[in-house]
Copies of this chain bind each other. A is one copy, B any other.
Amino acid sequence: MGMTIKDIAKKCGVGVSTVSRALNNHPDINPETKKMILKTVEESNFVPNNSARNLKRTDSKSIAILVKEIDNPFFATMMRVMEKKIRKQKYSFFIQHMGKDQDEVDTALELIKEKKLRGIIFLGGDFRKNKERIAKIKVPFVVSTSAFDKLPEKCIASYVSIDDRAESRKIVDHLCETGHKKIAILASDKKDENIGKLRLEGYREALKAHGLEVDEERICYLDEEDTTYSMENGYRMMKKLLKKETEFTAVFAISDLMVIGACKALLEEGKRIPEDVAVAGFDGLDYTGFYQPAITTMAQPVEEIARQSVGILFDMIETKKSKEGKYLPATLKERESTTGGRRKWKQD
């Protein structure tokens, strides 16, 4: 089963080191013998054993992307952008997924040792806890899409993300400014300590800034048993809200997926968007623009986050120093679901 470098050496009548040189594009080797060796390699179905390679190698020139939440709809785009940029730097790289319950630090640590990584990019995952454990990661890494409150010391680290609280506040501002005074929110679960919490805080801030009181009845939390930001959950939450007959003239969902479900529920109940209820989401997923009516949302600068994450990582690899974390601006897409084509709807 296992063809090894030794077998190839024997077949070619050369030493193993010569084969190794041929395989790894080493300079000091006779082009002819190299050609000959590579040919027999091809014919022999020889596949080098990466474990042995990594074990011996000291310098790898490779980085890994560790993806936590597969569900996240814009990770696909980010991964594509990152791949391109990393390849351009002549680095090898690979993408690996982690299960929901897999620990990000542990797998990172393993991977670093196994592959002799130069750096890591984390996509998703929660880095607000685990602070001491994170310190164990000794290669540069950047957290993409989520931020640290403060960078872990003793690490070479950074983050690239949007400022969830501020951007959330802005989109709720927008709702206020179009005249709404009774704004409901589809939030994440009560225990959430991550971006869901931040977006809810942004909502609260915006209301206060506009002199509106926060009516807890208008805050719909995600069920703690199923905390995914899904259309289904958005639908359910909105149905429930409608049943309560709490008054509201606008809804802000902290995720575009949820907002789609919410729209379905509203339309089913005969509500018009935005005439009866204005609607806004968050994230900037493509299909909010394709929905009828087009849905207002806060668009994450997905490609820019990806690009800068890679940029910063290479920077840190070179300087061996942490870089300041970066908040990139999201852009408010004002669309029909809140403006209805006009600038203001509610003006009571």
Contact = CB atoms under 8 A, between A and B. Distances in A.
Interface stretch (A19-27, A261-269, A312-320): A261-269
A52 B51 CA distance: 7
A13 interface: no
Interface in A88-107: 94-97, 99
A121 to B, nearest CB: 13
A76 B80 contact: no
Contacts of A99: 83, 87
Given A70-B79, A231-B290, A2 B113 contact: yes
The size bracket of the interface on A is: 35 or more
A114 interface: yes
Q: Chain A interface secondary structure, helix, strand, loop or mixed?
A: helix
Contacts of A95: 96-97
A61 B74 CA distance: 33
Contact of A45 (B45, B97, B136): B136
Contact of A290 (B1, B75, B114, B260): B260
A49 B55 contact: yes
For A70, A95, A235, the residue with the greatest tally of chain B CB atoms inside 10 Å of its CB is: A70
A87 B136 CA distance: 28
Contacts of A109: 47
Interface string A113-134: 1110000000000000000000
A231 B136 contact: no
Contact of A287 (B1, B45, B71, B231): B231
A114 to B, nearest CB: 4
Contacts of A216: none
Contact of A260 (B48, B49, B96, B287): B287
Interface in A168-216: none
A286 interface: yes
Interface string A268-303: 000000000000000000110011100000000000
A138 interface: yes
Contacts of A232: 286
A110 interface: yes
Interface in A113-166: 113-115, 136, 138
Interface of A: 1-2, 45, 47-55, 70-71, 75-76, 79-80, 83, 87, 94-97, 99, 109-110, 112-115, 136, 138, 230-232, 235, 260-261, 263-264, 267, 286-287, 290-292
Given A47-B110, A51-B53, 17 more contacts: A2-B113, A45-B136, A48-B110, A48-B113, A49-B113, A50-B113, A51-B113, A55-B55, A70-B79, A70-B80, A95-B96, A230-B286, A231-B286, A235-B290, A260-B290, A263-B290, A264-B290
